[in-house]
Structure 1
Amino acid sequence: MQSIDSNILSRIYGTGRGSVFTPGRFLDLGSRDAVDKILSRLVQKGTIRRLARGLYDYPERHPVMGILTPSPDAIARALAGKEGIRLQPSGAYAANRLGLSTQVPARIIYLTDGPSRTVKVG
Structure 2
Amino acid sequence: MTVVRSLLLFALAALAEIGGAWLIWQGWREHRGLLWIAGGILALGAYGFVATFQPDPNFGRILAAYGGIFVAGSLAWGMVVDRFRPDRWDLIGAAVCLIGVAVIMYAPRSS
Q: State the TM-score, normalized to the length of structure 1.
A: 0.36
Bigger Cα Rg: 1
Higher strand proportion, which one?
Answer: 1
Q: State the TM-score, normalized to the length of structure 2.
A: 0.38
Higher helix proportion, which one?
Answer: 2
